[in-house]
Structure 1
Amino acid sequence: MAMTGEKTLAASCHCRNVQYTVSIPVEILPLEVHMCHCSVCRYTYGAPCCFHADLPPGIEPEFTAPSSLEKMTAYALPRSKTKTYFCSTCGCCIGGCNDTWTISTSIFDANRDDEGIWLYNSHMLPDSAPDGGLAAVFSEIDGLPLQIDDLGGRALPDVSLPKELQSNQSELRAECHCGGVSFTIARPSEEFIASSESKGWLSDVDKSKWLACMDVCDDCRLVTGTNVIAWMFVARDHITPRLPKDLCIGTAKSYRSTEGVNRVFCGDCGATVFYHCDERPNIVDVSMGILRAPEGAMAENWSVWRAGRPSWPENGLRYHAGFSHALIEGMKRWGAERGHPQEFQIP
């Protein structure tokens, strides 16, 4: 007998100014989730990839008052009919609409424990990054192989930077999709390497690179709208232009997610840009999704990865054990192959 009825799924951003539900006919579940690695998604989310599911025609978010579409920020993708939406307060990306909705699945209360809701089935456009990004790290979830979806070779909007703004060996460019937030990162200086301030922030593997790690904590998930974000830890005086106290340059906006923690995102396109905590005032966490490293999304010419574990693995495993296991085990293998350390402590 065919199943009938609907399953109502609830979503919320970190600050809870955006809350909505979607009601899905049971017979069309599970919804297929694709992890998109294209540069458009990386530069608008600030993450290694986004986690999207397409809603069938006629099904769209039902906002819980006082939330509404009008109270969010819309970003119209250049040369496209699609608009993406994000929370104007915390920056959480909820998805986009072009006749039908594509939702960010990472902000829903439904996770792997709700059997039959989501089916993670594909890496989309992994070749958008020369190194393959996370698609090179794992190829299956819960024992099910992930398809590779190249959209049939369909061309995407050109998001390359003018040659004079591109990264080089001494400067790494970071820029969100709309270009409203852009800056460069310098390599660790000899003065920094020799100073006590560098203790714990550089690796003996290569002191010319900055430390990096994956993060699957609940707070990051709900301010980005993705299951995982990657951070590079940079001394703030190595960033140009000089960062003000609130880290807001260009079109950036700040959000105080917890006491002593400031998060920064682009107020025009929504990309996560920085994380900063009062306990380590001279170090800024830079979201690696907006880095313009020629070698790819993992920015290996600039980063030494902690490959053995992400930050807050217990959060990720509780939210979606299948994805988090794939990420953790995949990073261990990838890191061992690429010469990255399995462990280091973030001060």
Structure 2
Amino acid sequence: MASPESPPTKTLTASCHCHSIQFSIALPTSSLPLKIHLCHCTICRYVHGAPCCFHTPLPDGVDLDFIAPSSKDKLTSYTHPSFRSRKWFCSTCGCHIGDSSLTGEVSWTISTAIYDANREEEGIWKFNSHMCPGSTGDGGLSGVFGSVDGVELRMWDVDLPAVDSGTSSTTASVPVKDKPALQDGNASDNPDTPADPDEKLLAQCHCGDVSFHISRPSPEFLTSPASSTWLSPIDKTRWLASLDLCDDCRLVTGTNVIGWMFVPVDHITPALPSNLLVGSSKAYRSTEDVVRTFCGTCGATVFYWCKERPEIVDVATGLLRAPEGVMAEKWAVWRSGRLAWPENGLRYHEGFARALIDGMKVWGKERGHAEEFVVP
């Protein structure tokens, strides 16, 4: 008697930036398109260092097939007593690949930004929702755009402790050291009220092993030549910030976009060592002149540093604990008219990149941010 034919499948391949992790997944074509959720919860932001994470649950039983010499042994896992899934990231470059079930069953929620398939292959992905936008305090990217490829995204706030396991949003919110209470307000609440020069902004990963504070521009910095480069005429009490769509950042974070705030090294406390390693940080040299750091415990992206401007570090904005919300508008002047490396984002997924690019232009104009500035 002839055996029934196996259902047709589609194979997708994934890789981190350093290529230590490479694997494929074989998906039943009946499960496509996979629905992408942009999760804005505190767990996802503080674990990735990004404004949100991009993920989708795989059909039950679909496992990762590692491509030699890659193996699961080259991943670091991270969990917490409140978690209902285990998170995995590359031990070398910090790229998050997804979450697996704690029950031992083959059940994965994958980071969708590291796969070779994108919008060019219609029917693979479908952007479906902004998950947990209420945890951002200000809406985050859910307030920047609401649709992708003409499809309206569902706004989906989840009661995290009560959600079934299977996605990276299925974990209870973890108390944060020194986390301030959320307050109403935006960048232009009190434009005539000077910022407190002694005020500091906490930046901290999810596990808390990487933690530091950012200061306001000092009087010495304000009178230095560097102030004309690294401060905006809009507000010299806030640092410049930009969203980044480059392929390198995508493959070291496992997210389609990351935000950076540009801060002088000497405005960070405790004082940064020359290797930029804070707490449990690890360093990854993505090119000869670029060093990136990430938490070796939970995998959060922390810093980007380049040889061309050694006095400045780019701080991953997903770590910022600003009382006003994820966009940290009382601390950051965002470049809203242009994202970094838009051509990379448009090539990888045109629909998402276009929604973000166009949305930032409108959001920035409404919120009083800079249309343009140049990062050396």
TM range (shorter): over 0.9
Alpha-carbon distance between aligned partners in 1 of 2:177 and 2:375, rounded to the nearest angstrom: 35
TM-score (norm: length of structure 2): 0.89
Q: Percent identity?
A: 58
CA contact (8 A) 1:166 1:173 kept: no
**Aligned-pair distance for 1:166?**
4.3
* Alignment pair present for 1:262 and 2:288: no
SS of 1:326 mapped into structure 2: helix
Aligned to 2:184: none
* Alignment pair present for 1:54 and 2:57: yes
Q: Which blocks of at least 5 consecutive residues in structure 1 are unaligned?
A: none
CA contact (8 A) 2:119 2:348 kept: yes
In structure 2, which of residues 35, 38, 41 is the aligned counterpart of residue 35 of structure 1? Answer: 38
Aligned to 1:129: 136
Distance change >3 Å, CA 21–CA 302, structure 1 → 2: same
* Alignment pair present for 1:212 and 2:241: yes
Alpha-carbon distance between aligned partners in 2 of 1:61 and 1:161, rounded to the nearest angstrom: 32
CA contact (8 A) 2:160 2:173 kept: no
Aligned to 1:230: 259
* Alignment pair present for 1:273 and 2:273: no
In structure 2, which of residues 82, 95, 116 is the aligned counterpart of residue 92 of structure 1? Answer: 95
- CA offset digits 1:231-274 (Å, max 9, x no partner): 00000100001111110010000000011000000000000000
Distance change >3 Å, CA 146–CA 219, structure 1 → 2: same
Does 285-294 or 78-87 show the bigger shift? 78-87
Aligned to 1:316: 345
Residue type of the alignment partner of 1:282:
E
- CA offset digits 1:127-147 (Å, max 9, x no partner): 111101000000000110000
TM-score (norm: length of structure 1): 0.96
- CA offset digits 1:9-58 (Å, max 9, x no partner): 00000000000000001111100010000000000000000000100110
Alpha-carbon distance between aligned partners in 2 of 1:262 and 1:279, rounded to the nearest angstrom: 12
**Aligned-pair distance for 1:198?**
2.1
Aligned to 2:174: 159
SS of 1:209 mapped into structure 2: strand
Q: Which blocks of at least 5 consecutive residues in structure 2 are unaligned?
A: 1-5, 163-170, 182-194
RMSD between aligned alpha carbons? 1.6
In structure 1, which of residues 214, 237, 244 is the aligned counterpart of residue 273 of structure 2? Answer: 244
CA contact (8 A) 1:77 1:84 kept: no
Q: Which runs of 4+ in 1 moved over 4 A?
A: 152-156, 165-169
Alpha-carbon distance between aligned partners in 2 of 1:303 and 1:159, rounded to the nearest angstrom: 25
CA contact (8 A) 2:82 2:174 kept: no
**Between Structure 1 and Structure 2, how many residues are aligned?**
344
**Aligned-pair distance for 1:160?**
3.7
